[in-house]
Amino acid sequence: MSQLHHIARSAIASIALLGLPSAAILSPQIVHAQDAATATTAMDTFKTRHAAVTKLVKKRASNGKMQSEIDQLLDYDALAKRSLGGKKRFAERCEDRCDEFKQALSRLIRENYLRIIRNGKDHDVVYLGQEEGRRGAFRVKTQVTVHAEGAPRVASVDYVMRKDDSGIWVVQDIITDDVSLSKTYRYSFNQLHKEGGITKVIDRIHEKLAEIEKKN
C-alpha cells in the first residue's frame, strides 16, 4: 500500500470519530468562480461555493457568514440519513432524537470543513470534469497534490452532487481514493449504535465538538 493510500485510509478511518469530511483534508483552492445562481452544472456550483467559502476564510469573516455559505454546499440531511443506514432506517435508528442528531452531525462536519480549509492553503488541485451517475447524480472529479514528508503525491477526491428540491446542486457524498464518506460514517455509527443506541452516537459527536471548541 502506497504512503498516500495509507494516509487517505487513515484519514477515512477517523472520519466517524472526528466528524471530518475526508476530502476536506485535501480541500482544493478554487480560482475560477461564477454566480451560483446561474451555475448550470454540478462542477460550476461546486467551484462557486467553495471559492466563496475560501474567500471568506481569507477575509476572516464571521462564523455566521461562513456557515451560511457552507450550508448551501453540503447536504447535511442526506449525509445524516445515509450515515444511519438510509432513509428507510433513519427514523427507526435515531428514534425521537433525529433532529438533535442531524444538528450535531451538521455542526461537526461544518466545523471541520472550515478548519481544514484554513490549513489547506498549500494544496494544488486539478479538475478532471464531471461524470454522470445514477438517479440524477454527478461526480465532480478532482485530483489533489499533497506533500507528505517532502514528496508530492496525487490523490483523487470526488464530490457526489445532486439537485435539491429547489433545483440547486449540493454535495451528498465525498469520495477520497474510492472510499466513501457516507459509507464510512455508516460503518462507524453502526458500531457505536450497537454499543449504546443513538445516545452513544450523539454523545461521541458532542465529545468531538467539545474538543474542537477547546482547540479554537
Whether the CB-CB separation of 192 and 83 falls below 8 Å is answered with no
Q: What is the pLDDT of residues 191-216, one digit of tens each?
A: 999 999 999 999 999 999 999 888 76
Question: Lowest-confidence range among 36-50, 116-130, 135-149?
Answer: 116-130
CA distance 37 to 47: 12
Give the number of other Cβ atoms within 10 Å of residue 85's Cβ. 16
Whether the CB-CB separation of 15 and 184 falls below 8 Å is answered with yes
**pLDDT at 33 > cutoff 50:** no
Compute the residue count for the chain: 216
pLDDT tier at 122, thresholds 50, 70, 90? low
Instruction: Report the predicted TM-score, pTM, of the whole model to 2 decimal places.
Output: 0.74
Q: Which domains, from first to last, does the chain contain?
A: 3-215 (3.10.450.710)
Q: What is the pLDDT of residues 60-110, one digit of tens each?
A: 888 888 888 899 999 999 999 999 999 999 999 999 999 999 999 999 888
DSSP 73: T
Q: Write the single-letter amino acid at 59.
A: K
What pLDDT shows up at residue 13?
A: 37
Those residues with Cβ within 8 angstroms of residue 165's Cβ, 6 or more apart along the chain or in another chain? none
Those residues with Cβ within 8 angstroms of residue 66's Cβ, 6 or more apart along the chain or in another chain? 53, 56, 57, 114
Q: Write the single-letter amino acid at 56.
A: L
What pLDDT shows up at residue 9?
A: 43
132 DSSP β-pair partners: 138
CA distance 32 to 34: 7
Question: Lowest-confidence range among 76-90, 146-160, 163-177?
Answer: 146-160
